[in-house]
Chains A and B, each alone.
Chain A
Amino acid sequence: MTKTLLDVRDLSRRFDVSQPWLNRKIEGTGKRFVNAVTEVSFSVNQGETFALVGESGSGKSTIAKLIVGLLKPSHGDIVFDGISLKDGLKGAKARALRRRFQMIFQDPLASLNPRWRVVDIVAEPLRVFERGMSNRDQRLRVGELLTLVGLAPEDGVKFPHQFSGGQRQRIAIARALAANPDFIVCDEPTSALDVSVQAQILNLMKDLQKEFGLTYVFISHNLQVVRHMANDIGVLYLGRLAEFAEAGALFDAPKHPYTRMLLDAVPDIEMTGRRRKQVEGEIPSPIDPPSGCAFHPRCPFANDRCKRDVPLVINGVACHAVEEGRIG
């Protein structure tokens, strides 16, 4: 039986986007909030990949930041290997836990300090988590890691700007692996790369997962990438989970109308000649979300109930139409 490594329960995050205090008083406006993530629950099994997909503004990156602790949840809890991260961590316990998770970012140029040499960048987790490690051991470890991700130990003396995008992402992966983590959050790790390089990076990540038993939370807006990587998939719409399913099931038999719309829009070699269905409409503003089901303005199956009530996730789908059996 697979073990649950990460359990996200009713996770919500609200951002204060109010005007400054003085402007509010003069203009007589109140505080304004954006619900970036609302009551999202999912769990990730050890050694597997959980993918979060969604359009821009659906809250994918916010969830990533909440998981790694860059943001504090407004509500709900994140449980990592049985330990609640809600109240923040202190001291030795925090260090022991922090070395187990890492993050890989979207833009590898921004995630590597431009003034540091690669050897210092990759060794940063070692300096934090392996305080007694000698300089020589650090350099050896960095050389091993660089070789592992397909670079050469000699590359360690260079600066990030001397590499291509794909190579930089390899450096970022080497850094993520330095302290032997078992859980890595990948925030669109390939979306800043050329298509030909994307596949190389994804395959590298899959190989590393197999070799070290890594668990990934993989955030992407690219369904093909997700299909290649994920065991389970969560589809986000406007900060809420629309559908949560095993990858094969989701691609073969999508239930939520939004998932169907997304999949219909994916170009496919077998549908040559047919016209692709376009994704209609745009994601609404999270400052002023639609009433009821957030997807109802774009949904072909919406009825009055959809405009009124927020659907709950039932059997992995948050949709009144599916629940009532109107579509299926």
Chain B
Amino acid sequence: MENRTLFKDVPAEDLIVPVRVQGRLARALDSDIFYSWRTSPVTVVATLVALALILMALFAPLIAPYDPFNPASLNLMDGFTPPASTGAFTDNYFLMGADNQGRDVLSTIMYGSRVSLFVGILATLFAMTLGVSLGLIAGYNGGTIDAVIMRITDVQLSFPAILIALLIFGIARGLIPPSQQESMAVWVLILAIGLSNWAQFARTVRGATMVERQKDYVSAARIMGVHPILILLRHVLPNVLGPVLVIGTISLALAIIEEATLSFLGVGVPPTQPSLGTLIRIGQQFLFSGEWWILFFPAVTLIALALSVNLLGDWLRDALNPKLR
């Protein structure tokens, strides 16, 4: 029997707070956010495109017509097969044509967006975790810690992100032994892109944290002696997460483009594991000789991916901003 002090004559069933009236899914479908998603056709289309691309990348090994990285299934003589035609020496059908090595462009795109999305998502998550943690610490503590962290972000934001990524990439190249460079390349790329994008998260979160920590519910928790880390995680973080999600989506699009840029410049993923950027780099060599499809289809995929994620970010920004409603 529990230790009751109040209303001892009232049965417990009449006093207990019910667990939950509405299920999570029902509540989500009933929410303002879902309504604003449902009523924005652009956003619905963007979601569908992004989902389709993500699913395509996720299940590339299952749905791709060919394995573009298996030398046994490739025939160099199929190189430069135009779209929607059969290879000259094999019976392979190339919907989006074949590149200079006879690889099916559709399959390379599927595998390539896999690399692009993997790098983009992990780099963004890394940047988000780093930026949000530092922003929370800076905003909550203030003083010297805040000043130091914010000066670092100032320096970081005064450089173009791509330069920082190149710098980190170069340093990593020097540190990692050549034998492991190829296998580590993707992780170095994630690190480089992540480290070049965390500053915006830190700045936004720091500002929002400084507003939240002044609020009385934080004071109430402090009076109770709740540990500062718990205050940050339970009280402050949920209240600053809105802007973080918005920046997160937009920075996912940026990270994908940044990865493509680095790969285009030839410092990204190794050629054995081409991303969309690598494919575009390969394609642009043949653009002026008329083999447009090698460049065109990967570029369109990259644009579709970045655009749909960006549109989602825009929608999220508007949906979470009560002033625009």
Q: What is the interface of chain A, defined by CB distance below 8 A to chain B?
A: 65, 68-70, 94-95, 98-99, 101-103, 105-107, 110-115, 119, 121, 124-125, 128-129, 136-137, 139-140, 142-148, 153-154, 156-157, 175, 179-180
Contacts and interface: CB of A to CB of B under 8 A. Distances in A.
A105 B223 contact: no
Nearest to B220: A111
A111 B223 CA distance: 12
A112 B221 CA distance: 10
A196 B157 CA distance: 53
A115 B320 CA distance: 14
Nearest to A20: B147
A113 B217 contact: yes
Given A105-B216, A112-B217, A137 B2 contact: yes
Given A124-B224, A128-B224, A139-B19, A144 B6 contact: yes
A154 B17 contact: yes
A144 B239 contact: no
Nearest to B147: A20
Interface residues of B, number: 30
23 contacts: A65-B219, A70-B222, A70-B223, A98-B224, A103-B223, A106-B216, A107-B216, A110-B216, A110-B217, A111-B220, A119-B17, A124-B220, A124-B221, A139-B19, A143-B15, A144-B7, A148-B6, A153-B14, A153-B16, A153-B18, A157-B17, A157-B19, A180-B5
A94 B225 contact: yes
A119 B21 CA distance: 13
Interface string B198-220: 00000000000000000111011
Given A115-B239, A128-B225, A103 B219 contact: yes
Given A98-B225, A113-B238, 13 more contacts: A95-B225, A113-B217, A115-B238, A119-B17, A124-B220, A140-B16, A143-B17, A144-B5, A147-B6, A153-B18, A156-B18, A175-B220, A180-B5
Interface of B: 2-7, 10, 12, 14-21, 215-217, 219-226, 235, 238-239
A101 B223 contact: yes
A198 B216 CA distance: 20
Contacts, number: 98
B205 to A, nearest CB: 15
A180 B3 CA distance: 13
Contacts of A114: 239
Nearest to A180: B5
Given A129-B224, A147-B7, A70 B18 contact: no
B4 A140 contact: yes
B23 to A, nearest CB: 12
A25 to B, nearest CB: 16
A105 B220 contact: yes
Contacts of A136: 2, 16
A125 B21 CA distance: 24
A233 to B, nearest CB: 24
